[in-house]
Each structure stands twice: as structure tokens, then as C-alpha cells.
A = this chain, B = another copy of it.
Amino acid sequence: MNDALKVGEALPGGFLWGAVKAGIKVSGNPDLAAALVPGVGQATAMFTSNQVVAAPVTVGRRHMAATGGRVGLVLVNAGNANCATGQVGLDACEKTCVAAAETFGCIFDEVFPSSTGIIGVPFPDGKVIAALPGLKSSLGNMPEHAESFARAIMTTDTRMKVSQASFEVDGVEVRIFGAAKGAGMIHPRLGAPVAPHATMLVYLFTDIEAEGAQLRELLPAAVEHSFNSISIDGDTSTNDTVLLLTSGASGVRLNERTRTSFADALAQVCSKLAYAIVDDGEGVTHVVTLHITGARSEYEAKQIAKSIAHSPLCKTAWSSADPNWGRLMAAAGYSGVEFDPAKVTVRIGAEPVYEGGMRSPAFDEARAHAVMKQRDYTISMNFGLGEAECRFVTCDLTEQYVRINADYST
């Protein structure tokens, strides 16, 4: 997954990216990023289903509704989430959008704002507004510009998360560039398009030409199998946002002929970013893919996967490469999905661990332990109920995770 860590030349046309230091992050690193679509783009967004949402989520929803999904500028700050800041926070968000519209020469409600960082601290709109001219000067369409965008949106992330894909139609290349941030409070449950909010922020830029309705139809499927199929700590943030934004600059239309290629490329970019988010999770030492098969429905498969992915006992066992399949079965058992334990089979990597209601006769603890010592591996569980399945990417729970999130100095 190292290709997720650099920006290649093949960027979609019709975008300019940039970032500056606005003085919001305590670290002093760049913390204000912009993506400008000079021709104004067509977009769709999915927000967190959390009911407590940040001001930019409320404003972003309003703007998407008002414009029917037209976006001229994406404006993202890191270091302050502008969440639980009341009416004052909403006013501050709108002020920055007004100022950005003036600076960048677009329409107020074509500005799509995002914020990530600490919750409940007054939003420093003055710092954002003061940094806008510098932000405009930083814009460009080269890999280093796209990279500066991806780096500025990071908070506790230890590395940039980007992914690219492209496909050709009649000799013309259509490109997708995705940038994401997120390392904790990760268990996105993104609702309907133009619904709510993100500590996981994902921006998907593409130069295909598409209608809003087409984007609203395609994004949910890509999100369901990527960002909605990962969990670090089971906490669903108040700010999660995924934005899919098209410039149309390739001149290639999204239609029956190009739809599958585009959907595949989009799925690939989303899956890589989702995996990169878990891989960079707070304190993570093992990335575990739960492959649940033989379920009655994908929904039930995911219910089982989530129950295991949120079990502190499963997650701590993974941290020490302990093939404690009893904890997997116990977590599946309280998932709410009905099944017969005697029909379940469990494998860790290729190693059989459980079948026929008990430890597999072929269970070899040393070999199972060896699989689990790898940084990433798959746990496969077949429930013998039907044909549905899911893949869910999660991680271990380590002392380092507790240290990071308990860190408080007064």
C-alpha cells in the first residue's frame, strides 16, 4: 500500500490545490488547504450520521442543497473542528466562506467548508480569513500542490493518505485523485448524500463530466465497501465527510459506456484510502481484515464484523498475536445475528482454528500465532447461513492507543 503515500503525475485536470500555515495547529504546520475548480464543479457529499455535527457540516449541507451540488472551492482547516461551538461557530464558518468567496472569486454558497481537530473550542475565523490571500497564492496543479493539500488536512495522522486511478476512453485519460485524513475516532457511518459531518475527511477529485444525480448514485456504493467498512476505535466522528467533486475537464462523459470503468476506479481509490486510514490508525500494530462469509445478507455479515471489530477483547488479543478464537466466537455471539455455533468455521490466514462447535482438530497454535505476527492478515469466518459476505478492515487495540487518547496535561 506504499503507493498510497506519494502523489503521481496523473492528476485530474481542472483543479488547483494549495495550502498555507494559518496558525491553527499547535505544531505550526500548514493547516489551511484549498482546492479550486476554476470552471466550477459538480459534486456530491456524504456526511457522518452522528447527530452532533460541526458547523461546517451544517453549512456544507446548506450550500450543497442551495446550489444543487455545484462547488467552486473546497476550504479545509485542521486543528479546530468547529464543533459544539453553537451559533457563534456557525457564524464563524459563514464568515470564512464569505471571505473565501471574495478572495477566490466564486459564489458564497459554492464554497464547501470542512474542519477537523479539537471539539468545543471557539473557531479562529480571524486566522483563517487572514491566511486566505496566501492560500490563493499557493495554488497550482502539480503533484506538489496536490500533496500540500493532502498534508495540510492531517491532524494526528502520521502520514499523508492519497490514492490515484485512471482509465482511458477513446484515447482520453479520465483521472481520479483522492486525499484523506483520519487516524482516530474512526468508525464512519456515512448517511445519505447531502445528509451530515467528519474526523475522517475524504476528497475525491475527478475530471469526468457528470450530472449530480449520477454522482449521488455512484458514491454510496463506493463508500459502503470502503469507508463504511472500516473501524479503528468504533467512535463515529461528528465531522466525517466524503466529497466527490468533478471538474469535467477530461471531456469524457459518465454514461452507460464509461460507468463501469469509472465505478471500478472510484472503488479502487476509496478502498486504498480506507485501508491507509486503518493502517495509520492511532497505536495500530496489526491491520486485520475480517472476511465474513456464509451470511444471510451483507447487512448481517457486517453486523458480525462490527461486533468483532469493536470488541476490546478481540482487539487486545490481536495486539499480542494471540489466536484466542474464543473471543471471536463470543463477539459474533452477541452481534445480534442468529446462527448455530456448530456450523461456523474460523480460519486465521489459512490456519483452521474452529469448526464443529469446538477447536479445530487441525488447530496448530504456533502456526496461527505466526500468521498473527504479520502486520496484516485476514480472519475468515463462515457462518453456514447463506451466500452473502463482507470484508471489513480493522486493527488491534494497543497501549499506545490508550496513551495517545489519554494524553492530557494540566
Q: Which residues of A contact B (CB under 8 A)?
A: 48-53, 81, 83-89, 118-121, 184-185, 189, 233-238, 310-313, 316-317, 319-322, 324-327, 329-334, 338-339, 341-342, 354, 356-359, 365-366, 369, 397-399, 401-403, 405-408, 410
Contacts and interface: CB of A to CB of B under 8 A. Distances in A.
B234 A84 contact: no
Given A84-B358, A120-B359, A235 B317 contact: no
Contacts of A330: 50, 52, 119, 185, 235-238
A396 B167 CA distance: 50
Q: How many copies of the chain does the oligomer comprise?
A: 2
Contacts of A369: 410
B407 A333 contact: no
A402 B405 contact: no
Contacts of A311: 234-235
A327 B118 CA distance: 10
A3 B234 CA distance: 37
B86 A338 contact: no
A139 B26 CA distance: 66
Given A312-B405, A333-B52, A406-B320, A357 B189 contact: no
Q: Which of A310, A338, A358, A365 has the most CB of B within 10 A?
A: A358
11 contacts: A51-B334, A84-B341, A120-B325, A235-B327, A236-B330, A236-B333, A236-B334, A317-B406, A320-B407, A399-B402, A399-B403
Contacts of A319: 402, 406
A369 B253 CA distance: 57
Contacts of A358: 84-86, 88-89, 120
Contacts of A365: 410
Contacts of A331: 235
B325 A86 contact: no
Contact of A86 (B120, B332, B342, B402): B342
Nearest to A237: B330
Given A234-B311, A399-B402, 6 more contacts: A50-B330, A53-B333, A84-B325, A119-B324, A238-B330, A310-B310
Contacts of A51: 333-334, 338-339, 341
B184 A313 contact: yes
A87 to B, nearest CB: 7
A19 B399 CA distance: 37
A327 B402 contact: no
A293 to B, nearest CB: 18
A338 B49 CA distance: 11
Contact of A333 (B238, B317, B401, B410): B238
Contacts of A52: 329-330, 332-333, 341
Contacts of A325: 84, 120
Nearest to A337: B51
Contacts of A322: 406, 408
